[in-house]
């Protein structure tokens, strides 16, 4: 007997990881960018490897970008206060 994986109609494997990674990437703009951004990037790249081809890659790259932007915003905020 062979096992087959069934998925919800219209969803790709790894889509949930992509969505969670995207949410973490957006949160990285304002909250803990050094923590949430890399987690979002890893989730995006794992989703990409699981078959969520274009979106997972975009989430991974976007999370890296939002990490850098979030760190820059935090640094600008700290420098402006001092």
Pseudo-torsion of CA 28, 31, 33, 35, nearest 10°? -100
Q: What's the confidence (pLDDT) of residue 6? A: 54
**Distance between CA atoms of 9 and 15, rounded to whole angstroms?**
12
Q: What's the confidence (pLDDT) of residue 49? A: 94
Q: What's the confidence (pLDDT) of residue 11? A: 72
pTM of the model: 0.81
Beta-carbon neighbour count of residue 66 at 10 Å?
Answer: 24
Q: What's the confidence (pLDDT) of residue 32? A: 94
Q: What's the confidence (pLDDT) of residue 4? A: 61
**Distance between CA atoms of 28 and 38, rounded to whole angstroms?**
9
**Distance between CA atoms of 58 and 73, rounded to whole angstroms?**
22
| Average pLDDT, 10 consecutive residues per value, the chain (82 residues) | 58 88 95 96 95 92 97 93 75
């Amino acid at each position: 007997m062979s096992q087959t994986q069934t998925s919800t109609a219209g969803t790709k494997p790894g889509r949930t990881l992509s969505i969670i990674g995207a949410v973490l990437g957006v949160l990285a703009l304002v909250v803990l960018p050094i923590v949430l951004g890399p987690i979002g990037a890893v989730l995006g790249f794992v989703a990409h490897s699981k078959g969520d081809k274009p979106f997972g890659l975009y989430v991974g790259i976007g999370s890296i970008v939002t990490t850098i932007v979030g760190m820059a915003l935090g640094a600008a905020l700290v420098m402006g206060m001092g």
